[in-house]
Copies of this chain bind each other. A is one copy, B any other.
Amino acid sequence: MPSEETEVGPSRELVSDVFARDCPSRAAFEDVTAKWASLALLALREGNYRFNALRRRVEGVSEKMLSQTLQALERDGMLTRDVVTAIPPRVEYALTPLGAQVAERLRGLADLLEASAGEVARARASYAGRQSQPPVRT
């Protein structure tokens, strides 16, 4: 008898849990919350984008990272990549319904943090003060 902690049948849908090391949902969670991925999803929420336009929208991302990020998100079914063969070539990125749902939630998180910027700044100032006690003369 195998380890009894998992009483999941072979043909049943496994229970997803982001806390579990090997759970696919954790991988997906990490993919969408990755540094550039969340910003890309947020941007595509505003409408479709072509590669370089997206690159301009997401300040600071390099071509390489944007490319890798978009591949990962396409792979996970978060967005579609539509290649228009023409001169010059065009590639349009758009959210899938799933990607839109994810982006919506990321938006909520971003809104909260944008609105709480002041509170975070105050917390940081307070923390800095608590850490560095005034120089003690010895």
Does more than half of chain A's interface fall in helix, strand or loop, or is it mixed?
Answer: helix
Asked if residues A117 and B24 are in contact (CB atoms below 8 Å), the reply is yes
A126 surroundings in chain B (CB, below 8 A): 77
Picked from B13, B29, B118, the residue with its CB within 8 Å of the CB of A38 is: B29
Query: How many identical subunits does the complex contain?
Result: 2
Picked from B14, B43, B108, B123, the residue with its CB within 8 Å of the CB of A19 is: B43
Tell me, in angstroms, the Cα distance from A108 to B109 when the chains sit together: 10
Tell me, in angstroms, the Cα distance from A101 to B114 when the chains sit together: 13
| Count of chain A residues with a beta carbon within 8 Å of a chain B beta carbon | 52
Instruction: Output the nearest chain B residue to A57 by Cβ-Cβ distance.
Output: B19
Q: State how many angstroms separate the Cβ of A2 from the closest Cβ of chain B.
A: 11
A21 surroundings in chain B (CB, below 8 A): 59-60
Answer yes or no: A137 CB below 8 A from chain B CBs.
no
Tell me, in angstroms, the Cα distance from A106 to B32 when the chains sit together: 12
A residues 79-138 with Cβ under 8 Å of B? 98, 101-102, 105-106, 108-110, 112-124, 126-127
Asked if residues A17 and B114 are in contact (CB atoms below 8 Å), the reply is yes
Tell me, in angstroms, the Cα distance from A65 to B119 when the chains sit together: 25
